[in-house]
């Protein structure tokens, strides 16, 4: 079925994320950050000796850190599958994980906690509708804590209403670049 034949209205409702998974360099080092600094409970540390559903032998550990709403941030520690670029800190434009706290004071408490732990912190990036602070976990995963400002709802409501126009404008503005890229890289066409 082509995507245009589907609509949002007929899709089964997705409740929430269950887990978001990343690679980690070392399970214990990762636990120290996500449990001791971030305060998330390590709810499971499952080790395996083969890839699920296959006979392929591989030693790996799957870690699940529990967030306040029952969702998880997960990691795979795979000692035999290392690449130097895997754990490089990347710009948040590639990927990052953002977690919400209920109060501005809690956001500031995290900022202090990160600094006390010797972490580099980018703070006070005011996006108007949220206030955010950023650091990196030991695996190069950009980690964001945000607090929704009092204007959050109003700003988001306005943005949602503007989606059709914003999407059309962006697609028109960038189409030529995308077409040129696809011509040069037929695998993406």
Contacts to Fe ion by CB under 5 A: 98, 144
**Least distance in Å: CB of 107 to Fe ion?**
13
Residue 175 CB, shortest distance to Fe ion, in Å, is 26
- What contacts 130, CB < 8 A, 6 or more positions away? 146, 147, 148, 149, 152
* CA–CA distance, 68 with 113 (Å, rounded to integer): 18
Local structure of residue 181 (DSSP, 8 states): H
Residue 106 Cβ vs Fe ion, minimum distance, rounded to whole Å: 17
Residue among 2 and 91 whose Cβ is closer to Fe ion = 91
* Residue closer to Fe ion, measured from CB, 29 or 144: 144
Q: Which is nearer to Fe ion, 98 or 154 (CB)?
A: 98
**Rg of the chain (C-alpha set):** 20
The total of other beta-carbon atoms located within 10 Å of residue 131's CB is: 18
Name, in order, each residue with C-beta under 8 angstroms of 159's C-beta and a sequence gap of 6 or more.
166
Contact present, 145 and 101 (Cβ < 8 Å): yes
Minimal distance, residue 98 CB to Fe ion, in Å: 4
Q: CB-wise, 108 or 144, nearer to Fe ion?
A: 144
């Amino acid at each position: 079925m082509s995507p245009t034949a589907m609509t949002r209205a007929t899709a089964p409702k997705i409740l929430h994320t269950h887990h978001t998974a990343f690679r980690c360099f070392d399970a214990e080092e990762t636990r120290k950050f996500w449990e001791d600094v971030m305060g998330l409970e390590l709810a499971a540390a499952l080790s395996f000796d083969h890839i699920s559903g296959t006979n392929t032998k591989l030693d790996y550990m799957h870690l699940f850190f529990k967030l306040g709403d029952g969702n998880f941030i997960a990691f795979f520690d795979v000692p035999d599958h290392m690449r130097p670029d895997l754990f490089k800190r990347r710009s948040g434009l590639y990927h990052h994980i953002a977690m919400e706290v209920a109060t501005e004071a809690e956001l500031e408490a995290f900022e202090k906690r990160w600094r006390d732990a010797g972490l580099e912190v980018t703070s006070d990036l005011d996006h108007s509708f949220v206030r955010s602070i950023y650091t990196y976990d030991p695996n190069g995963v950009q980690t964001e804590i945000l607090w929704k400002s009092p204007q959050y709802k109003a700003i988001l409501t306005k943005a949602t209403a503007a989606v059709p126009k914003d999407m059309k404008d962006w697609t028109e503005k960038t189409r030529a670049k995308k077409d040129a890229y696809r011509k040069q890289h037929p695998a993406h066409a």
